[in-house]
Chains A and B, each alone.
Chain A
């Protein structure tokens, strides 16, 4: 049973559009919420992360929104580019990292 539920499974967006990926959790012991980006044939790499006392964090075109009361968080990719085409995993940490199932993002030129 996955502790972090992620949706959608896949999405297609036009170049310049916004990609939105949503995650939800139940375990209130989670205290750190990273997002990982994975390209085909590679291992995941940390993209951006947030602590639960912060409602939003932005790094370049990537923004995490965090709603502690709803136990939900999301990744927004602004001005999506073809190079953003990858699989994105949300995750949550208590003493170990629990991953969502992943979202495959395809950006059409």
Chain B
């Protein structure tokens, strides 16, 4: 089992460019999440998908879109990248969205926007 995989590992974008971060999990989990991690701010939830076919905004959704492609895959799209979106992005999955289910995290994507 690979767990949660993310591609790419590193990316540099120019302001205004677009890109999609890919995430896949092989644990048959229902819920998936996208976080960003910035120094001194912990992890902040961007979007989540409680189950296949549903997506909801988290704490910091502006400038991002998501697609729950199927039960395994959850992608995060930046339509017009801004320097403020320089961050480390983590995808996570869990069996369910609440009730204490453990979230399993991927290795992260380090994004720099110049």
Contact = CB atoms under 8 A, between A and B. Distances in A.
B98 A102 contact: no
A97 B103 contact: yes
A95 B99 CA distance: 8
A11 interface: no
Interface residues of B, number: 22
A46 B43 contact: no
A99 B103 CA distance: 12
B40 A43 contact: no
A42 B107 contact: yes
A51 B100 contact: yes
B42 interface: yes
A26 B42 CA distance: 17
B contact face: mostly helix, strand, loop, or mixed? loop
A45 B43 CA distance: 13
Which of A6, A97, A101, A102 has the most chain B CB atoms inside 10 A of its CB? A97
B72 interface: no
B74 interface: no
Contacts of A98: 45
A96 B107 CA distance: 20
A100 B100 contact: no
A97 B105 contact: no
B42 A9 contact: no
Nearest to B50: A95
Contacts of A31: 98-100
A41 B105 CA distance: 12
B107 A43 contact: yes
